[in-house]
């Protein structure tokens, strides 16, 4: 006998609850970060999700400090305003 392809209703409900709690917790954690840190995280997430829309440059100084520069020609849409 083969297993059904769908998740049982209880498992699906538990998954949705876990996702909701994780999202809420992440939102609370992010709200404690300074705005520049949130902006940097958003830019990095955008790079990971849409690599073709960004240019990335990594600068390394002789002292060893590193700087990642992300640049885009894409105009932000309504969902990208913060």
Q: Is residue 32 part of a domain?
A: yes
Question: What is d(CA 4, CA 12) in angstroms, rounded to the nearest whole number?
Answer: 14
Q: What is the DSSP letter of 33?
A: S
Domain housing 16: 9-74
Predicted pLDDT at 79: 59
Q: Is residue 2 part of a domain?
A: no
pTM of the model: 0.45
Q: Is residue 31 part of a domain?
A: yes
Nearest one of 45, 48, 49, 38 to 82, comparing CA atoms: 38
Is 82 within 8 Å of 33 (Cβ atoms)? no
Predicted pLDDT at 70: 79
Work out how many domains the chain is built from and give that number: 1
Question: What is d(CA 38, CA 36) in angstroms, rounded to the nearest whole number?
Answer: 5
pLDDT tens across 58-75, in order?
999 999 999 988 787 766
Q: If pLDDT is split at 50, 70 and 90, which confidence band does 7 have?
A: low
pLDDT tens across 32-57, in order?
989 888 888 887 887 788 778 878 88
Q: Is residue 80 part of a domain?
A: no
Question: What is d(CA 41, CA 33) in angstroms, rounded to the nearest whole number?
Answer: 10
Q: Is residue 29 part of a domain?
A: yes
Q: Is residue 79 part of a domain?
A: no
Q: Is residue 4 part of a domain?
A: no
């Amino acid at each position: 006998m083969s297993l059904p392809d769908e998740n049982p209703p209880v498992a699906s409900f538990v998954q949705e609850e876990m996702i909701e709690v994780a999202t809420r917790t992440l939102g609370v954690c992010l709200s404690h970060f300074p705005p520049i840190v949130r902006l940097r995280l958003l830019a990095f997430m955008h790079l990971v999700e849409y690599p073709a829309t960004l240019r990335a440059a990594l600068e390394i100084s002789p002292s060893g400090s590193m700087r990642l520069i992300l640049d885009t020609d894409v105009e932000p849409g309504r969902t990208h305003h913060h």
